[in-house]
Structure 1
Amino acid sequence: MTTSDLLGETHELDLGGARIRYRDRGEGPPVVFVHGLLTNGLLWRKVAPAIADAGFRCLTPDWPLGSHEIPVPHADLTPPGVAALIERFLEALDLTDVTVVANDTGGALTQLLMTTSPDRVGRVVLTPSDSFERFLPPMFSGLSPLARVPGGTWVAIQALRWRWLLKKTDFAWLTKHPVPDHILDAYLLPSRRSAEIRDDLRRFMASVDNRYTLTAAERLPAFEKPVLLAWAPEDRHFPLWLGRKLAGVLPNAELKTIEDSYAFVPEDQPERLSDLVVEFMRAHATT
């Protein structure tokens, strides 16, 4: 069984202007995962199987954020556009009372979903994520203006060629523990190899602006469904105060900490995260 097979059977879904590849494992109440920039569904390879084995249906899409393999040249890849893709994914599969589990940039997109199209969402789990004024976090804030410069995205992608640099900085301080080489390749090679994927990445990065997350934050108090904030106190990009700030504006949120992890909790502490997600879903199951 390959790493990808752990996530279940592979399907493709036409969402009108975008074809999305996703994997489907398990039966029961649906859980949809939302990864961030320059990762794909493999981010959840150690989380989704455990949740599926606990009695849930886990759907793990590759969202068009630079590590996907199907170009989407006609899709709206602004943050609201990608949030709308998530909503269309839920609609196309007729998923209701969904638990959305998100990380990093995917958390920002999920906050947009929570404030614009929440009808199919039953509960949300946010791990360290872009929020409020941090979209993107300071270390990566130059990516958006760089993407607006001709050739800028190529420069950024080339900088990620240096595996020794990624190892030395623990994948740019996103993971505390080593990420296997084949997973790094799955994240970074699609945009390096394909001009079309690189252009998708460019369009998203060029449109990133914290006005989206700041506007979402103003509307989050209206989202009264259960939210779990599974935060990593050691993370440098999305500090614990950011999780606490989210907990302060969400009316039905609980904050739990995950030790020995940076931003990519699904990479660093998948067992702890899986346990928290299953416990949360069972506590807030629809009767």
Structure 2
Amino acid sequence: MTEQIEVPAGTIEYTDTGGSGPVVVLIGGLAIGPSLWDGVVAALRGDHRVIVPTLPWGAHRIPMRPDADLSLAGHARIVADLLDALDLRDVTLVENDTGMAQLVAADHPQRLARLVITSCEAFENYPPGLAGKTVGLVGRLPGGVLLAMSQLRIRPLRKLPMTFGWMTKHGIPDAMMDDWLRPLLSDRAIRRDLTKYIRSVDRHVLTQTAERLRGFDRPALVAWAAEDRLMPAEHGRRLAALLPQGRFVEVPDSRTLIPLDQPDLLADLIAEHVRAEAPAVA
């Protein structure tokens, strides 16, 4: 069941499996809904409390407040505010696709016990690849987001490298993507939120954040897709080397959206990582 919580930026929807197990929070990327994580949640929920918020990347259904900061740093603050509002402690934060979890770990680590970074934006690869640059261009044109999303009603266009084509090895089900795109196609305020993020992009922010990750002294797993065509594996290795307790693993038979291509393997990696010793977070 979807629940709601108020944070300073607005209302955030989330799902929560409940239970008393270790807390795992899963977050994804632009125009990608929480169903990205369905396979991972199914594998983890028996022994973990799994929370999947729908952040204002475009697949959200409730617009943020007009004055909300929706930059990458603003999204990191939303995650920190969400963890505070839900009073979550000793959290394992898992992110895919966007690089925002790096900012959470660097600037808002208070409630984190562990970090899992899967294939994502990092260093100078922001926005990433042809798809990221295309989004950056259309987001700066009047009506550009609506035009771009409307074209994705044509299902074959979703498989192009400049859209979602290079993001998975095994494809995204059409019904799933229809659900992800529906808010952007139907609600001007949701398009406003995504446009606000796109126009805030500072291509230097993740390079600047990387050095601050040296201060995150808790277990960190960097799991990178072996066949990623958008996020260079070398960036994953560099991130793992920066993190004092970083460990790098390569995920076979997958591209960027590892939670879709390899949900069971990713769930196993997360569960193993959760079992690692970590200091309690006050």
Whichever residue aligns with residue 235 of structure 2, its letter is L
Q: Which residue is 2:52 aligned to?
A: 60
Q: Which residue is 1:17 aligned to?
A: 9
Mapped contact 1:112–1:212 kept (Cα < 8 A): no
Whichever residue aligns with residue 77 of structure 2, its letter is A
Mapped contact 1:129–1:263 kept (Cα < 8 A): yes
Unaligned runs of 5+ in 2: none
Whichever residue aligns with residue 56 of structure 1, its letter is H
Provide, for residues 65-122 of structure 1, a one-character-per-residue CA deviation record: whole Å limited to 9, x for no partner.
00111111332111111110000000001111100010001xx111011111111111
Q: Which residue is 2:252 aligned to?
A: 259
Mapped contact 1:40–1:61 kept (Cα < 8 A): no
Q: Distance in 2 between matches of 1:60 and 1:135?
A: 24
Pairwise mapping of residues 135-150 of structure 1 onto structure 2 (< 5 A)? 135-139=126-130, 140-150=132-142
Whichever residue aligns with residue 238 of structure 2, its letter is K
Q: Distance in 1 between matches of 2:244 and 2:278?
A: 18
- Structure 2 vs 1, CA of residues 181 and 145 (structure 1 numbering), >3 Å: closer, same or farther? closer
Q: Which residue is 2:31 aligned to?
A: 38
**Displacement of 1:50 after TM fit?**
1.1
**Displacement of 1:285 after TM fit?**
5.3
Taking structure 2 as the reference length, what is the TM-score of the superposition? 0.93
Taking structure 1 as the reference length, what is the TM-score of the superposition? 0.92
Q: Which residue is 2:193 aligned to?
A: 200
**Displacement of 1:160 after TM fit?**
2.0
Q: Which residue is 2:117 aligned to?
A: 126
Whichever residue aligns with residue 231 of structure 2, its letter is F
Q: Distance in 1 between matches of 2:118 and 2:145?
A: 27
Q: Secondary structure at the match of 2:171?
A: coil
Mapped contact 1:46–1:271 kept (Cα < 8 A): yes
Mapped contact 2:17–2:51 kept (Cα < 8 A): yes
**Alignment partner of 1:222 is 2:212:** no
Pairwise mapping of residues 80-91 of structure 1 onto structure 2 (< 5 A)? 80-91=73-84
Unaligned runs of 5+ in 1: 1-8
Q: Secondary structure at the match of 2:39?
A: coil
Q: Distance in 1 between matches of 2:166 and 2:139?
A: 22
CA RMSD between the two structures: 1.6
Whichever residue aligns with residue 221 of structure 2, its letter is L
Q: Which residue is 2:262 aligned to?
A: 269
Q: Distance in 1 between matches of 2:171 and 2:26?
A: 22
Whichever residue aligns with residue 81 of structure 1, its letter is G
Q: Distance in 1 between matches of 2:249 and 2:80?
A: 27
Q: Distance in 1 between matches of 2:251 and 2:257?
A: 11
Mapped contact 2:159–2:166 kept (Cα < 8 A): no
Q: Which residue is 1:101 aligned to?
A: 94
**Displacement of 1:156 after TM fit?**
2.1
**Alignment partner of 1:184 is 2:174:** no
Provide, for residues 31-57 of structure 1, a one-character-per-residue CA deviation record: whole Å limited to 9, x for no partner.
11111111021110110121111x110
**Displacement of 1:182 after TM fit?**
1.4
Mapped contact 1:136–1:210 kept (Cα < 8 A): yes
**Displacement of 1:211 after TM fit?**
1.7
Mapped contact 1:145–1:206 kept (Cα < 8 A): no
Aligned residues: 276
- Structure 1 residue aligned with 2:64, among 72, 90, 98? 72
Report which stretch shifted further, 14-23 or 84-93.
14-23
Mapped contact 2:2–2:14 kept (Cα < 8 A): yes
Q: Distance in 1 between matches of 2:100 and 2:124?
A: 14
Provide, for residues 135-179 of structure 1, a one-character-per-residue CA deviation record: whole Å limited to 9, x for no partner.
111212232243122222222222322211224659321011122
Q: Percent identity?
A: 39
Q: Distance in 2 between matches of 1:230 and 1:81?
A: 25
